[in-house]
Structure 1
């Protein structure tokens, strides 16, 4: 079967992220700018539920490998979670990660440290933090679209101010008491839909590797 020239769109999201309203918003904005059909950009959307599935980490490792090889542009987005919490695996982001490791039996597995280091690498790339946009998702989407256009044109993103990052080996964080279960309110809904922001943005071209690996995401033709 002939390989399609149009790049595939890779979906990188957690298992519990179930919404499409925000996705349609992003897709419409990117279509208006002609970004999807011409894109070789990967967005990694970090939310506090990103760490709920080990498959997200497998995907992120492959994304960063391709970024390191110069085959795609990587843009991290920190949605309703701080960059420090992601980089250091603190807060709910870290708690969810510990739960995933425990459930999957990976607490002492080399995968754990490898995943953490990969997240640290991704955090060093220039990206976006939703807190900088006063919870205005529309403005955030518009900036992401502009950033993709700049990168496709070979321009660098404006450098954001970043604190010096420290390595975060597995023993740097301790299990915390889980917070009382909260209802699925507006805040959590925004987190869930934003974690799927990459639904229509992450173009990812796979060949033989696709047939041998399971993903939590999907491919759109």
Structure 2
């Protein structure tokens, strides 16, 4: 604002007034807004993911538990293939047996290791019958491994094969239906393409080959399912 000062009719000076207005202080208003965090990124299922029940290993522990089976399971683990192995050969109760049979049902692949004393175990043979039924009913894949036995020896149960004495005892102890089921299962598994492990053969490279083959089948199966 400007005003003029006159003295005796003469303009003396002019003054500028600056008006200063004081406003009362207003406290700031704080508005609380709850903003939800952003959703996590969508997790897509991995086609290569495996479970502990991808592969069931059927074997006679007396022959191969601490040698071939340990090496095979380690090779499968390196290939990120989960395997279930039944380590109990005798003295198991009903609950344990049912759990093993359920594991066979839940598995999608089977490795059947047929060794010299395999047929002496009724549990191994019962598991093989279950594997055969699951494979035929649900198109699941079995991989037989003939460990220090030949497919011809296994199939010649009644004609001097490596399991003849075992089945001579079984026929005296168990019902015809049960023994006949075991024989059918053995005949079935012999007809499936697999591997033969000779007694003078290096097992290391063969175990790796088996693990890689199983891994490819598992991966291909995961892609088809996904």
Post-superposition offset of 1:128 = 0.6
Post-superposition offset of 1:66 = 1.0
Q: TM-score, normalised by structure 2?
A: 0.56
Distance 2:145 2:63 in 1: 16
Q: Which residue pairs with 2:156 in the alignment?
A: 88
Aligned partner of 1:60 among 128, 152, 155: 128
Contact map agreement 1:87 1:119 (CA 8 A) in 2: yes
Q: TM-score, normalised by structure 1?
A: 0.57
Distance 1:134 1:147 in 2: 23
Distance 1:21 1:86 in 2: 21
5+ long unaligned stretches in structure 2: 1-49, 84-106, 222-226
Contact map agreement 2:155 2:190 (CA 8 A) in 1: yes
Q: Which residue pairs with 1:25 in the alignment?
A: 71
Post-superposition offset of 1:13 = 3.2
Q: Which moved more, 1:120-129 or 1:88-97?
A: 88-97
Contact map agreement 1:40 1:72 (CA 8 A) in 2: yes
Post-superposition offset of 1:68 = 0.9
Contact map agreement 1:45 1:77 (CA 8 A) in 2: yes
Structure with greater contact order relative to length (CA < 8 Å, sep ≥ 6): 1
RMSD of aligned alpha carbons = 2.8
Contact map agreement 1:87 1:123 (CA 8 A) in 2: yes
Could you list the per-position Cα deviations for residues 100-145 of structure 1 after superposition, in whole angstroms to 9, with x for gaps in the alignment? 333xx13x612222211121111111111113x9521112211211
Post-superposition offset of 1:75 = 0.7
Please give the secondary structure, in 2, of the residue aligned with 1:135. Answer: coil
Larger strand fraction of residues: 2
Q: Which residue pairs with 2:94 in the alignment?
A: none
Residues 154 and 70 of structure 1: CA distance in aligned 2, closer, same or farther (over 3 Å): farther
